[in-house]
Each structure stands twice: as structure tokens, then as C-alpha cells.
Chain A
């Protein structure tokens, strides 16, 4: 469901700002020019036609009488582009429109931006611009939908011939994506945000994340010698590893220890180590533990080096983890291919989310061509029936779960943490950035089309270790932490 401001972007009298709903004199009551993205009743109200405007003098507005979903999508995309063009400066946009008229702007925009193509791709595909694709993945269980879509034929179903390429790490996935060697890639969900902000690479490029790969699916593993140190307060001086700086792993670990009164920059050390090296380093007692993707938590148990201290779902149940991302430029250049890829991944993610399919998936993705891991290890991760390294068999089917919907407020949370720990210092509009990168509305559209049930909103509040994150006030949330770098 598109939930951005849905006023006519080519109308000088409309206001595209998010907080401007129902403020304009020339609109009657109940005729908001801008939908409140937080409104949970949005869909119902829209179905009732409450938003239909009766203003006669704008042809565009008349069309809103019969605003169907497709038109809403069109409008959402147009608005986003127009807002982007004017840097969200309403005054400039309106002045321009008063001088030249909306038609000129629409025409000018059409000439530089293949708007129609992007919109068409989100609705239904035409001929594919490119069928042979290279998609990178880092060999961890988070990549399950990207990988299993290959052997199980989900890419083929949409006419794509995809090579899934085993990638040495996230820095490589980033560089290969920036260089265009990969059409799309498995990334960590903070990565498209940091790439768009320009904080994790030398060049700044707009990346989009149409879908999340998995939720949960991480764990904290400690060395066997720490079996008696189950309270984070005892971790002072510990050396931890995470797989990448711009990762949920890093942010969740920092969050967890900070909630227990430890300063992640002073009291413990956090270093970046590629997952396979983590197990080797743990064995050598070079690190005390790690917050890492599976199968390397389970692998430490399998190799009798460490034990699973906690799953990250105990910190934030349903937290986003890995992402499926590509550059916005690539999507604009190959809209239909993008649409087909989008669909195949939503399908694959939904298939993976069914616990019944997990054992079969484990069998398919364990061989050398994909994860290159012993099957029992992968199966324990995916089915959630696992040995914890402490002598117990645990049963948690949601240990890793798959849900493609990229909530905008997930991005907002990630951005608050990036700012909290000093990864980015300049100011930005949290929700705007979230909407530019996480394609929640488009994801909902595709989910609906494929017969799944998407949420009706793109924002919601989350509870993380008992503390509620209110997406409407990211700065306030940030201020509420005693321990922070900015």
C-alpha cells in the first residue's frame, strides 16, 4: 500500500510534506491532501472513498474520485520523485509550478526519469530487459531465499536465468554491486541505507531494498570456557566479533551490552571478522564470542568450541537481518527484470517462511555450490530444533524466520542506531531516507499481487528489550539513551 503523501505533485496548491495533512484552507474537512502514514485505518478509509476530493478545477483531482490502487502507486512514485527533485523544499516546488505549470514539470520529469517504466514494473512486467543475472550472496543461512530460489526454480518461474555467486564478504558484495558486476545482491539491511548516505564507501549511490531476506536468525555464541558468564555484566574486557560494521549484528550487540551498562566502545572490544574466521578465532581463544549469522553459531556447537548464549530474537523478536538490494539506477534501467526478480524473491521468501519446507531447503542449500556446510548444521538452524552446546536440545521454530516486508520503521530504527554510535554525524530526515531505500509500499503491492497478505501500514512501533521504539520521534528516541556518541 502506498502510504507516502499522495497529493498531486504537479499541483502548486498541494503540499507533499508528511506532517501537513488536513491543514490547507482550500481543502474541505476530510479532504486531506496528504495521508497520514501512521493511520492504521488508512486502507479502510480509502476504501470508503473518504479521500475522494470534490474540487472541480483540477483534472488530476477529479481522477482521484476513482483512485484505484494502480493510480495510487503512480502517484506515490511521482510524488517521491518530485520531492526528491526539489530536495523536499515545498516553497521551491510551488514557486516553480506557479511559474511554469504542472504540465511542464511532468513533461520535463518524464524526459529524465523513466517513471512509467518503474511504475509498470511494480505493477506487472512486460518483456524482460535482461534475463541473465548475476546475484551475489554471502554463504550464510540468511541468504536462504536468494539461494534456494535457484535450485528450486523460483527464478526460472519468472523467466530469469540467475547465477547466484558465492561472495567472500560484505565489503566484496558492496564493491561488486557498486561496480555493476552484480545485478543485485544479498546485503545486510543497514547497508543500502549506509550506501545511500555515503558512509560506508567512497562513492555515494542510491540503493534500494525491495525486500528483507530474513528476520531473527542470529545468535550470540561464547567460548565454552565462559559457560558460567551468562550475565552481560560479566563481559567486561571481552573481545567480540561481528561480521560487518553496518550490520544488525553490530547494532544489536551494542544495544544489548549498553542496556546492561557496558560501553561497547570502552568495556568490550568489537572487531569485524568474516564469519568463517570467527569459528577459527574462537577456537584459538582470540575472541571470547561473537554475534554472528548462522550457520556459524551452530557450527561452533558442532565443533564443540562454543555454546549458543542467546538468540537475537530474545533482544528484538522479528528484527530485520539480511536484505536483498540493488541500485536504484539498475532498477530504473531494467524495470521489468526488477519486477520479475522482486516477485521471485517474494515467492522464495514466503516458501522459506513455511516451517514445513525448512528441512528440504536445508538439504538443497547445504552442498558446496551454495553454503558448503554439513547438512545437520544447516538443518538445525532452519528447523529451529538444535543443540545449544550446553547439553540441551532447544526447539524454537522462529529461530530464523523469513518475512520480506521491509517496514519503514525498521530503517528508521537502524538510522537511530547509526547516529547513536557515531557512524553518521550529519542530520537527515529519518523517514524520508527510510522511504527512499526500503520499498515497503512496492513490496506490499507485489505481495498482494502474489496472493500474500501484506500489512496495511509501512510503519509500526517495535519493542526492543522492553523499550518501545516510537518511529514518529526518532530524535527523541535517540535522546532517551544515556549511552550514545552523538
Chain B
């Protein structure tokens, strides 16, 4: 029954996709294919063939797909600093996101733990967290570039700063809301503070912590594209910017799809990790 539902949903998804692509293809097809009877004049040659392209300027899905096939067939070529394959560009972005994200986790989780366990610190730090949390990560970019003086590290810093808040807040919340019964049990067993933290609080708060991490990586992946468009150089954000320079929308759409897929995979991996630590009461 369940597999049956999955199967039916899968079929429906494919139908929706095909329908969507079909509409897109029809909407962007050149209206009339003009047959050239005489030679193009020089002026028409200089303006790219005198209005031969589709009127909307948006590429048809067939164009995007053929572009995707050619990009993906050789994803790791490297032709100098400004021309690298999509695989290398994505690799740079993933590397920056993961590095910034794990650095943030390294600080946010222990710090969140401390805040969660101490109502005093919780209240004392709350105003700072509340003010810093809503700042757009990209607002830090000019400051980061100026202070750090390295664009790559600045990008990683921006990922770090945007990842830290959801993890911090969730960890603190998860730790603070561990059931009192469990803490009391730990007390009656005369467990030390450290032991209580690792054997009782951490497992209890783990699902909340991982939820925070899942939110963080989602935000980090959103931010890296914009950050790389801003500083240029390498990464999927730079790739989009460079293709935009050429107003090459087929490449831009292809890159958007790739960003979606990678973002989905990152989210999926943390969702799986959350499942691992969750347990029924």
C-alpha cells in the first residue's frame, strides 16, 4: 500500500515535470521559423542575424538540457582562473559552505550548551543574540573584506556568521528544555555535571541541535551563491555571474537547477542525521 502510494506519487511528479517542460518549450519556441531567401545584409550580420532568436529571449528547455549535457560531460576541466568546469565551481562552493558551517558548529554547539544550562548566561547573552541574528550575512561582507583582506576567507567568514545563530539558539533551547524528570534521575544517581551533560542532556537535546544545524546549512547554501557573485573568482555564484555577463540564460538556468539539487542533498544528509539521533519516548 505504502509503496503503491510512493509509486503513484513518483509517476505524478514525472507527469508534472513533463507538463511544465512542455509548456515552457511551447512558450519559448521561435514564433515563425523564417526561411532566408536572400543573403543577410551586413547590418543584419552585425546584429546577430536580424531578429532570428525567440522573442522572449528565454531559452527553451531543450536548449538548457543540451547545455547541461555538455557541461556535465566534462565537469572538472580547468582552463585558467576564469574558466573552470561546473564540478570544480560547485566543489569550491561546497568546500566554503562546509568549512564555514563546521567552524560555526564548533563554536555554536558548546556555547549554546553553556547558555542552555545557565539561565543567568541565557538572559545575559539574549540581547546580543537577538540583535546579531537578524543581520543579513552579506551585510558583513564589506567589513569582512576590509578586516580579513582575503576574499576566500571572507566568504567562509560570512558562511560562519550566518550558520552560527540557528545552531546557537536551537542548542540553547534544546538544552534548556530537557525534561526535569531526567535531570532529577541523574541527580539521584549522583552523576557528575560533566557526566550528566554527556549522558543525559546531549542525547536529549541532540534532535533539536541537529534541527538547528539543518536550518543553518540551508541558510549557508543560500548565502554562498550571493557571496560568490559579490566577490567573484570561483564558485557557483561566480559561475552564474560570469554567465550573466554574457547574458547566457541557458547557463544561468542550468546553474540554478544545480544549486537546487546540491542544496537538496545537503538538507537531506542532515535530515538523515537527525533521524539517527531521534528516539521514541
Contact = CB atoms under 8 A, between A and B. Distances in A.
B247 A280 contact: yes
Contacts of A166: 81-82, 232, 242
A393 B246 CA distance: 23
B211 to A, nearest CB: 35
B147 to A, nearest CB: 10
Interface string A186-202: 00000000000000001
A380 interface: yes
A186 B150 CA distance: 18
Contacts of B150: 179, 181
Q: Top 8 nearest A-B pairs by Cβ distance?
A: A179-B149, A168-B232, A387-B46, A369-B83, A166-B82, A276-B245, A372-B246, A368-B83
Given A172-B231, A304-B47, A376-B46, A367 B83 contact: yes
Nearest to B245: A276
Interface in B215-255: 229-233, 238, 241-248
Interface of B: 42-43, 45-48, 51, 57, 79-83, 142, 145-146, 149-151, 229-233, 238, 241-248
Contacts of A304: 47, 51
A303 B57 contact: yes
Contacts of B149: 178-181
Nearest to B233: A165
A139 to B, nearest CB: 6
Nearest to A369: B83
A360 interface: no
Interface residues of A, number: 45
Given A175-B146, A202-B146, A283-B57, A167 B244 contact: no
Contacts of B243: 372
A290 interface: no
Interface string A153-183: 0000000000111111100100110111100
Nearest to A366: B246
Given A168-B229, A181-B149, A303-B247, A393 B81 contact: no
Given A166-B242, A167-B232, A175-B146, A392 B48 contact: no
Given A179-B145, A279-B247, A393 B46 contact: yes
A163 B247 contact: no
A125 interface: no
Contacts of B238: 168
Contacts of B81: 163-166
B48 A368 contact: no
A389 B44 CA distance: 10
A455 interface: no
B48 A176 contact: no
27 contacts: A164-B81, A165-B81, A165-B233, A166-B232, A168-B232, A172-B231, A175-B151, A176-B151, A178-B149, A179-B150, A180-B149, A203-B146, A276-B247, A277-B244, A280-B244, A302-B47, A302-B48, A368-B83, A368-B246, A372-B245, A372-B248, A374-B48, A380-B46, A385-B46, A386-B46, A393-B43, A393-B46
Interface in A247-305: 275-277, 279-280, 283, 299, 301-304
B47 A301 contact: yes
A373 interface: yes
A372 B43 contact: no
Residue among A164, A168, A385 with the most chain B CB within 10 A? Answer: A168
B151 A369 contact: no
A299 B47 CA distance: 9
A203 to B, nearest CB: 8
A127 interface: no
A483 B83 CA distance: 47
Nearest to A175: B145
Contact of B246 (A172, A373, A391): A373
Q: Which of B42, B46, B230, B231 has the most CB of A within 10 A?
A: B46
A125 B244 CA distance: 41
Nearest to B237: A168
Contacts of B83: 367-369
B235 to A, nearest CB: 11
A393 B50 CA distance: 13
